[in-house]
Chain A
Amino acid sequence: MQGASASEYLWICTEGVPGFSRIPKECSGIHITSKKAYMIMRRLLSKIAICGILILWAPLVDVVSAAKDTTEIVFLTWKPNQPEVWNKLIQQFHEKHPHITVKRQVCPHSSTEYHAIITQRLKNRDVSVDVFLMDVVWPPEFANAGWALDLSSRFPEAEQEKFLAGPISAGIYHEKIYGVPCYMAAGLFYYRKDLLEKYHFDPPATWAEMIEQGNIILSDHKNPGMVIYSAQFKQYEGLVCNMLEFLRSNGGEILDQKTGQVLLDQAPALEAISFVRDHIIGKAAPRGVVTYEEPESLSLFTQGKTIFHRNWPYAWAVANDPEKSTVSGKVGVGSLPAFEGHDHAATLGGWHFGINAFSIHQEAAWQFIQFMASKESQKTLALKAGLAPTRKSVYEDPVIQQKMPHLIAFLPSLKKAVSRPLSPIYPMISQELQRFFSAAIVHENEALPSMAHASAVRLKKLLELEAMIAK
């Protein structure tokens, strides 16, 4: 008795399990004669062949019908929060351009996952994508890899000037423009207007003041679940945006893009990081923030459990929706605090439209982008989806000014917002930054300067890779 065979294991494993119909043990050897089985197989094979022909035929039929008079373009996008708004815009486009049909292909909501999918498709020169949304940090990568079409002739400087400068410069790589700004975002500071008024506080100008005000309010409130601040500190792209705001509001930087120097291990950066580690994580903000992305941190604010909150413009509508928020109508918004003696900072976010360089419908794709980036479309996106426009004229529109006065309050932060490092290898840089920032704020007892130095060395290695293409 030396153990049992694999087939016997499987046999015994399924005993007594409902739903496993068992073949009688005697049948484990093949009893069907091979000739009979051969006949069955032959019939089966002929059916498979017929199916195969049908499958191959289908795209041909498709091509023939498409060639008639309409052009179909494919618009690759992430899963939107308000799909009905996007559908409505596409429907309006169809009415204006009956010869073009736009097919929307929806990818995951997460920017990183969407990036993984879109880069795989573009890298393989997939011509079935025509228009796509590009995160504000992607144009250098997409341009350098040759995935995004150069739009300089279609989108001249005179046209670019109608947009806000921040998003436009993010779409430019080596003096050519690859993206048309769809909507923009910036790190904004949300606060409980009612609580600040009650204690006669102005919105805090410095991070220290924020904690001071928060402590006074909390000591009075005696609500055990209440905290001072919530933001996004999980190890993901949002962490880079948040930490960059702390760094820059202390005069720090990650790298000097002109000289290629890494500044991550310099004093201003280290001071800002140690402030976050020592005074924010587990203190002003609950320890759990190191697992929070936007929705989790926002829900803390909408449940009235935090006084101050950092988020993108979309949070305004959610925080003021009485169905989703307990603090609706009690929300103030402005620029994030800074460190003493330094200017406020906001990280630039938002999305651009781009055209696949291998697309065979570039002209139709451009017409679609022109429509989507028009003043009317941006107004719709602002009014119905709460997305901040990139065209200057939308902010001057009376309907917008009347219905969305908070957009005007966003404007200083939107105009001041600065991009993350612009590089064709930004995804690599970002992964390294996420790793470093997460470790720096999670490990309380580790020596920050040596950690920063190790990370700076790794960043330099990455920049050397990028420098190789300049040669």
Chain B
Amino acid sequence: MTHKDRFFFLLLLPAAALLMLFIVIPVGQSFFLSFHRVISGLPQLGEAMVGLENYRNLLHDDVARHSLWITVIFVGVTTFFELLIGLFLALLMHRRFPGRGALRAAVLIPWAIPTVVAAQMWRFLMNDAYGMINYLAFGTKIDCYIPWLAYPATALGAIILADIWKTASFAALLILAGLQVIPREIHQAGLVDGAGTWRRFRHITWPLIRPAVMVALLFRTIDAFRVFDLAYVLTQGGPADATNVLQLYGYKKMFVEGWMGYGSAISVCIFMLALFLAIIYVRAVGRHLLEARV
């Protein structure tokens, strides 16, 4: 190791230590706990090693299965619409027009707001007595007002909508980055050859931004799988477990019920699912995307 190498290594140390402290150790602890029967209210049970008992129970847990479905629906719908809207926004932001800088900044705002604050805002908007959405839809006819968060389907719709509003801009930024690296000459060549707007999009833009779209897809899917705060603030899982996403279910098991082993098993499953998805995506997209090009 040269003097320079050692110096770089030294610079990496703080980051490595933080990763160790906040990611590697907790994840390891979750794995460890998930193989034990730990219930904080019943210390008499000890912390017996129970092997795969928690995972076996999880397989037969109807509530968990329901939560998994809810989460899959959430991930599917939000990712699809976020990418679609993100693509549209990115194409818009890519055009040259006065006030483009301001628009780009404005698009970032929903993404920059902390999720808890955004969720609280949506809770007010969806309120059945004074919600803005009801006012826009029905004006002063208050007997028509709909309690959006009171029906299972609309409550799930509400957290999906809030997530799309909040993170479509993130997808837009990633796709915009992809758009900006397309050399102008290719478009000009297409124009000279008589290609229309659609053909230029279909045969020039789309193939070239596809890698960026894939990266956005990867980030959004994995992130959506870990949704917690929106459901926690908007509905706390209700009504009738309609928004009880997996993370929230795991949180309730662990911190509300004190069932540490079982809750950990749920977290580990979410972790494995996200990891599995990440590996598939990275393989599909190609490794080179995530490595800095030299």
Interface set of A (CB-CB < 8 Å, partner B): 1-13, 15-18, 34, 37-38, 41, 112, 115-116, 119-120, 123, 141, 144-146, 224-225, 234-236, 286-291, 296, 299-300, 424-425, 427-428, 431, 434-435, 438-439, 442-443, 454, 465-466, 468-469
Q: In the bound complex, what is the Cα–Cα distance between A34 and B11 (angstroms)?
A: 11
* Given A288-B129, A291-B128; A235-B41 close (CB under 8 Å): no
Q: Is the CB of A18 within 8 A of B101?
A: yes
On chain A, the residues within 8 Å of B104 by CB distance are: 15-17
B1 at the A interface (CB under 8 A): no
On chain A, the residues within 8 Å of B15 by CB distance are: none
Q: Which 7 A-B residue pairings sit nearest by Cβ, starting from the closest?
A: A235-B238, A3-B211, A288-B147, A288-B128, A16-B101, A439-B240, A9-B177
Task: Out of A4, A299, A435, name the residue touching B177 (CB < 8 Å).
Answer: A4
Tell me the minimal C-beta distance from B114 to chain A in angstroms.
17
The majority secondary structure among interface residues of chain A is helix
Q: In the bound complex, what is the Cα–Cα distance between A299 and B211 (angstroms)?
A: 52
Q: In the bound complex, what is the Cα–Cα distance between A225 and B141 (angstroms)?
A: 9
Task: Out of B39, B142, B238, B258, name the residue touching A291 (CB < 8 Å).
Answer: B238
Nearest A-chain residue to B142, judged by Cβ: A225
Tell me the minimal C-beta distance from A452 to chain B in angstroms.
14
Q: Is the CB of B291 within 8 A of A13?
A: no
B250 at the A interface (CB under 8 A): no
On chain A, the residues within 8 Å of B40 by CB distance are: 119, 123, 145
Task: Out of B128, B173, B241, name the residue touching A235 (CB < 8 Å).
Answer: B241
Q: Is the CB of A37 within 8 A of B177?
A: no
On chain A, the residues within 8 Å of B259 by CB distance are: 428
Q: Is the CB of B288 within 8 A of A2?
A: yes
Q: Is the CB of A431 within 8 A of B152?
A: no
User: Which residues in window 212-240 of B have CB below 8 A to A?
Assistant: 212, 215, 235-240
On chain B, the residues within 8 Å of A469 by CB distance are: 42, 44-45
Q: Is the CB of A442 within 8 A of B101?
A: no
Tell me the minimal C-beta distance from B147 to chain A in angstroms.
4
Task: Out of A5, A37, A146, A438, name the residue touching B240 (CB < 8 Å).
Answer: A438
Q: Is the CB of A12 within 8 A of B62?
A: no
Q: Please count how many residues in chain B sit with their CB below 8 Å of the partner chain's CB atoms.
A: 62
B63 at the A interface (CB under 8 A): yes
The majority secondary structure among interface residues of chain B is helix
Q: Is the CB of A235 within 8 A of B7?
A: no
Interface set of B (CB-CB < 8 Å, partner A): 3-4, 7-8, 10-11, 39-45, 62-63, 100-101, 104-105, 108, 128-129, 142-143, 147, 149-152, 173-174, 176-178, 180-183, 208, 211-212, 215, 235-242, 252, 255-259, 288-293
On chain B, the residues within 8 Å of A13 by CB distance are: 173-174, 176-177
On chain A, the residues within 8 Å of B177 by CB distance are: 4, 8-13
Q: Is the CB of B239 within 8 A of A291?
A: yes
On chain A, the residues within 8 Å of B242 by CB distance are: 442
Q: In the bound complex, what is the Cα–Cα distance between A8 and B42 (angstroms)?
A: 53
Q: Is the CB of A37 within 8 A of B7?
A: yes
On chain B, the residues within 8 Å of A428 by CB distance are: 41, 257-259
Q: Is the CB of B105 within 8 A of A431?
A: no
* Given A41-B10, A291-B128, A466-B42; A234-B238 close (CB under 8 Å): yes
A-B contact list, 18 entries, CB within 8 Å: A4-B177, A4-B211, A11-B177, A12-B181, A16-B100, A34-B7, A119-B40, A123-B40, A235-B235, A288-B129, A288-B150, A290-B238, A291-B150, A299-B129, A425-B39, A428-B258, A438-B240, A466-B42
On chain B, the residues within 8 Å of A34 by CB distance are: 3-4, 7-8
Tell me the minimal C-beta distance from A188 to chain B in angstroms.
23
Q: In the bound complex, what is the Cα–Cα distance between A13 and B212 (angstroms)?
A: 12
Tell me the minimal C-beta distance from A210 to chain B in angstroms.
21
Q: Is the CB of A5 within 8 A of B10?
A: no
On chain A, the residues within 8 Å of B258 by CB distance are: 119, 123, 427-428
Q: Is the CB of B291 within 8 A of A115?
A: no
* Given A236-B238, A439-B240; A287-B150 close (CB under 8 Å): yes
On chain B, the residues within 8 Å of A4 by CB distance are: 177-178, 181, 211-212, 293
Q: In the bound complex, what is the Cα–Cα distance between A4 and B181 (angstroms)?
A: 7
On chain A, the residues within 8 Å of B180 by CB distance are: 12, 15
Tell me the minimal C-beta distance from A199 to chain B in angstroms.
23
Q: Is the CB of A454 within 8 A of B62?
A: yes
Q: In the bound complex, what is the Cα–Cα distance between A424 and B276 (angstroms)?
A: 38
Tell me the minimal C-beta distance from A125 to chain B in angstroms.
11
Q: In the bound complex, what is the Cα–Cα distance between A3 and B8 (angstroms)?
A: 29
Q: Is the CB of B147 within 8 A of A287?
A: yes
Q: Is the CB of B7 within 8 A of A8?
A: no
On chain B, the residues within 8 Å of A442 by CB distance are: 150-152, 239-240, 242
